[in-house]
Chain A
């Protein structure tokens, strides 16, 4: 049998492997190489890739750029808050649906809906809502909550505007994952818990949450990756004004804010960005997986 599959490995695996190599692997390795050169998009300084080699220069300049460092910090702040808010909102929705019983299909349909819609298109709508509707509703003649007015005109407020928008888009999706996780918890565990006299909170803390850890792992992974790499919403809401560029946008900006355009520098930033996302992503999976085992 093994021999049979081995014979067919290359013919069947090759289309996928070639596609992957051509679209991800090769560009990634080329990008890695270019990040050490004075690449200008349409040419290399000095004529060829090898003559434009600048060593670690591009990397050394990354952290001298105040804008990049700011975008990095802003991205991390946003991600930290958004991941918590999205996960908690999704979990609450899932628990409520679970608690409410069977006839909740309509709610599930509605909560999932925003996930289908593009970040850029809906970003335009949210931009108007934050700029004009919120400012009207929460202004001095309305509910008078200054924090919710002109949210796209301030670094900090915009962070929360992004959190609101991302929660709106992602919470429904994560809720579905939690609901699936909740359905997998054997009911007799709760009955046993009830017999031991465990109250609602205790049942949640000692039965639901540990049993839900596999779902938590996935939810955290998806929200972390989504938030760290967020671009469309950032473009639509502020396009980087008021120091609100996140990393994805900042890297796109690097070539626009240099002349001749410094694609080598942008590529080095992108490599650092990848390392960051990979470390955070893998660390999270490692930690929550460990929790699953412990549980």
Chain B
């Protein structure tokens, strides 16, 4: 490589092309390709029939017919399922943000042994395996007439609370009391104080709470399975599971599974590519506490 070329390649980033750096970049590229491999594999095999998938899993499809994809979309009621999953996710996360932020604020502002015990209880809930509450929970909600979509949203609200309160609590401790006092002197009511003054201050951690909760709620399988089961309205993951079960209880119809998985992950990938700044920031903020 000529000197001039090296200079351009290094470019404005002021990178110096040392062997160490090249090696690191090579490793990073290989790792990235490895990471992408299952997704590329999934993509390629979403356009093949069962025979071709099994015989030559690594080959490109002979023709890029969208037949399997559109078939899969029909089978998993794609539009409806995305709408329901998105609805559940948005409402659950809104519930979590609303409850967790006010609860944490109150816990911080009313610091006492009792409030610390409450915080400890909420934090410890992060360690509770779902299996140890699942049967009684379903039983209880059934009794309350809530074994349905609204009930599911409430359940997510409850399960998401532990981690979210933990995150908010750490953040609220850093909000100076003086700010709130000033707002109160200006004649603000408690709700005005909370929504106009306090809530905007903790926006970064709200992003975290939204991202982290959305991720697991969107992909969750067991809770919708137990609550909704084979109901008419199913979430995306549940549709996928039933499509696999019904089309071949005793086999793997890959020509259905692969395109179905592919279309089911596309919405979240698109969202991620547009909002990735917030995703990364969300995870980072969550970790600093």
Report if A201 contacts B (CB, 8 A): no
Stretch binding the partner chain, chosen from B62-70, B105-113, B199-207: B105-113
Q: Does B283 contact A (CB under 8 A)?
A: yes
Which of B28, B124, B140 lies in contact with A107, CB distance below 8 A? B28
> Chain A's interface: helix, strand, loop or mixed, by majority?
helix
Chain A residues whose C-beta falls within 8 Å of the C-beta of B126 in the assembled complex: 225
> Given that A12-B190, A232-B221 are known contacts, is A24 also in contact with B162, CB under 8 Å in the complex?
yes
Q: Which residues in A have their C-beta under 8 angstroms from that of B21? A: 99-100
Known: A107-B32, A225-B126. A13 touches B215 (CB 8 A): no
A13's closest neighbor in chain B, by CB?
B106
Nearest-neighbour CB distance to chain B for A264, whole angstroms, equals 10
Contact of A99 among B24, B41, B54 (CB under 8 A): B24
B79 in the interface (beta carbon within 8 A): no
A62-70, A112-120, A151-159, A202-210: which lies at the interface: A112-120
Instruction: Please tell me if the beta carbons of B132 and A121 are within 8 angstroms of each other in the complex.
Output: no
Interface residue count for B (Cβ, 8 Å)? 90
Residue of A nearest to B241 (CB): A120
Find out whether the CB atom of A114 lies under 8 angstroms from the CB atom of B35.
yes
Name A274's contact: one of B28, B110, B132, B157 (CB within 8 Å): B132
> What mask results when residues 1 to 41 of chain A are scored 1 for a CB within 8 Å of chain B, else 0?
11011101100110111011011111110110010000001
A-B contact count (CB 8 A): 252
Given A25-B121, A104-B28, A176-B284: A12 and B35 interface contact (C-beta under 8 Å): no
- Chain B 28-71, CB within 8 Å of chain A: the 1/0 string? 10011001101101100000000000100110000000000000
Chain A, 102-126, CB within 8 A of any chain B CB: 102-104, 106-122, 124-126
**Which residues of B (158-192) have their CB < 8 Å from a CB of A?**
158-159, 161-162, 165, 177, 181, 184, 190
State whether A263 touches B121 (Cβ < 8 A): no
CA distance A215 to B287 in the complex (A): 7
Decide if A121 touches B13 in the complex (CB within 8 Å): no
Q: Is the CB of B283 within 8 A of A118?
A: no
How many whole Å from B184's CB to the nearest CB in chain A?
7
In contact, B276 and A252 (Cβ under 8 angstroms): no
- Determine if A15 and B98 form an interchain contact, defined as CB atoms under 8 angstroms apart: yes
Asked whether A23 and B159 contact (CB < 8 A) given A13-B102, A31-B132, A168-B38, the answer is: yes
CA distance in complex: A38, B46 (Å): 48
Q: How far is the CB of B144 from chain A (nearest CB, A)?
A: 8
Residues of B within 8 A of A115 (CB): 215
Interface size of A by Cβ–Cβ distance < 8 Å?
Answer: 93
A188 CB to nearest B CB, Å: 20
Contacts of B24 in A (CB 8 A): 96, 99-100
Assess whether A122 is in contact with B221, with CB atoms less than 8 Å apart: no
Q: How far is the CB of B148 from chain A (nearest CB, A)?
A: 15
Q: Is the CB of A176 within 8 A of B240?
A: no
Known contacts: A5-B109, A248-B129. The answer to whether A121 contacts B135 by CB under 8 A is no
- Report A-chain residues with C-beta under 8 Å of the C-beta of B42: 125
Q: Which B residues touch A20, using CB under 8 A?
A: 121-122, 125, 158, 161-162
B288–A277 CB distance below 8 A = no
Q: Are A5 and B106 in contact (CB under 8 A)?
A: yes
Q: Is A281 an interface residue (CB 8 A)?
A: yes
> Whose C-beta in chain A lies nearest to the C-beta of B124?
A278
Contacts from B to A (Cβ < 8 Å): 13, 15, 20-21, 24-25, 27-28, 31-32, 35-36, 38-39, 41-42, 54, 57-58, 95, 98-100, 102-103, 105-107, 109-110, 118, 121-122, 124-137, 139-140, 154-155, 157-159, 161-162, 165, 177, 181, 184, 190, 194, 215, 218-222, 237, 240-241, 244, 252, 254, 257-258, 261, 264-265, 268-269, 272-273, 276, 279-280, 283-284, 287-288
**With A118-B219, A120-B241 given, can you name 18 additional A-B contacts, CB distance below 8 Å?**
A1-B181, A4-B184, A31-B133, A96-B27, A101-B15, A114-B39, A116-B279, A124-B252, A127-B252, A129-B38, A133-B41, A133-B57, A168-B38, A179-B284, A180-B288, A218-B287, A252-B131, A267-B132
Binding site for B on A (CB under 8 A): 1-2, 4-6, 8-9, 12-13, 15-17, 19-20, 22-28, 30-31, 34, 41, 93, 96-97, 99-104, 106-122, 124-129, 132-133, 136, 168, 172-173, 176-177, 179-181, 184, 214-215, 218, 225, 228-229, 231-232, 247-248, 251-252, 263, 266-267, 269-271, 273-274, 277-278, 281-282
